[in-house]
Amino acid sequence: MLVILLIVFLVSSVCAQCSKYSGPSGTIECIQLSRYNSEYQWGTCLTDTYIKAKSGAEHQCIDRTATYCHYQCMLELYDVGSGPVEGCCKCQQGQEYTSTDLTLPSSCYSPSGTDCGWYENCLEKKYKCKGTEDDYALEFATKFCNLYNEHFSSFSSGGQIWVNSVRKCLQVSLVPILRPWCSKSCKEIKQIAFDSHTPCYVRPNRQDLSISFCNLSLKDRASVFWTIKSSLVMKGAVIETLNGVMMTMKECTVQSLDSLLTDVNSLLTDVKAFTIEIFTKIQSLLRRRRRALSDFTDALTLANRIADSIANKLRWSEQGILWFSSVDSNISLPLSNELLMFVHLADKKTYDLNTNYTESADIHLIVREFQNKLEKGELKAILEDYLFQPISAKGCLDAQCNITLFDVNASLDNSSSGLKSYVIVGICTMALFVVLS
Distances (CA, A) of 92 to 37, 101, 140, 255: 14, 17, 38, 52
- List all residues 6 or more positions away from 167 whose beta carbon is below 8 Å from its beta carbon: 113, 114, 116, 145, 148
Give the span between the Cα atoms of 390 and 412, in whole angstroms: 9
Give the Cβ contact number of residue 116 at 10 Å: 19
pTM: 0.72
Q: What is the pLDDT along the chain (437 residues), one digit of tens a residue?
A: 444 444 333 222 344 578 889 988 888 889 888 999 999 999 999 999 999 888 888 898 988 899 999 899 999 888 898 999 998 899 998 888 765 456 788 889 889 888 999 999 999 988 888 888 888 887 788 888 888 888 888 889 999 999 999 999 999 999 998 988 888 899 898 888 888 888 888 889 888 889 988 888 878 888 888 877 776 666 666 777 777 777 777 667 554 444 444 444 444 455 666 666 666 666 666 555 444 455 566 778 888 888 899 999 999 999 999 888 887 766 655 555 677 778 888 888 888 877 788 888 888 888 889 889 888 888 888 887 777 777 777 776 654 556 677 787 877 654 444 333 333 333 333 333 333 22
**According to the model, what pLDDT value does residue 271 have?**
61
> Which among 116, 195, 201, 137 has a CA at the least distance from the CA of 165?
201
Q: What is the predicted pLDDT for the residue at 270?
A: 54
**Strand locations in 83-191, DSSP E?**
none
pLDDT at 102: 60
What is the model's pLDDT at position 196? 87
d(CA 388, CA 391): 9
**First and final C-alpha spacing in the chain:** 44
Task: Compute CA 318 distance to the chain's CA centroid, rounded to the nearest angstrom.
Answer: 27
- 176: Cβ contacts below 8 Å, ≥ 6 apart: 54, 76, 77, 182
What pLDDT is recorded for position 11? 27
Neighbours of 220 (CB within 10 A): 21
